[in-house]
Amino acid sequence: MEDLAKRVGERLAASGQVLAIAESCTGGWVAQAVTAIAGSSDWFDRGFVTYSNDAKQEMLGVRADTLARHGAVSEHAAREMAQGALARSKATVTLAVTGVAGPGGGSAEKPVGMVCFAWASRQGARTEAMRFSGDRESVRRQSVVHALEGVLKLLTSAESGHT
């Protein structure tokens, strides 16, 4: 994870980009991973830990209608979280992660291990839902890694002219 966070930082710094993070089920772990890298203040602006629906609405502008219709664990909510982080920071790139880490809280529609991600820039946003296995810590760890890998993909797409 440290190597991955370091690569993200190098790519952000090289392209003059700045990252902000909106997290729910990872509880600030992505922000911890990137701020563990010396010099991260050059390319990391801020993190939003929005565990409750109220926090998602108040801090990131996630719409109540989105939460009512799709739930906090949805690609729709993740997209609005990432877009909200972009609008409420100095970042040029954002990521959002929201999911069911377990061991409880899952349902048939949204089982334990379901995690939704979004990555956004001024050029647009991309979302993805994943299903991870393992215990709570494993689901959260896999989510942090996937979120950071998504930032690398976003930066690669931007460099090649795609979003």
d(CA 72, CA 16): 32
d(CA 160, CA 16): 15
| pLDDT over 70 (residue 163) | no
For residue 161, the model assigns a pLDDT of 65
Pull the structure tokens for residue 50.
């929005």
For residue 159, the model assigns a pLDDT of 73
Phi, psi angles (nearest 5°) of residue 9:
-60, -40
| pLDDT tens per residue across span 129-161 | 999 999 999 999 999 999 999 999 999 887 766
Calculate mean pLDDT across residues 60-69.
98
Confidence band for 112, pLDDT divided at 50, 70 and 90 = very high
pTM for this structure? 0.96
Across the chain, mean pLDDT equals 96
For residue 157, the model assigns a pLDDT of 82
3-state secondary structure of 46: strand
H-run or E-run covering 120: strand 114-121
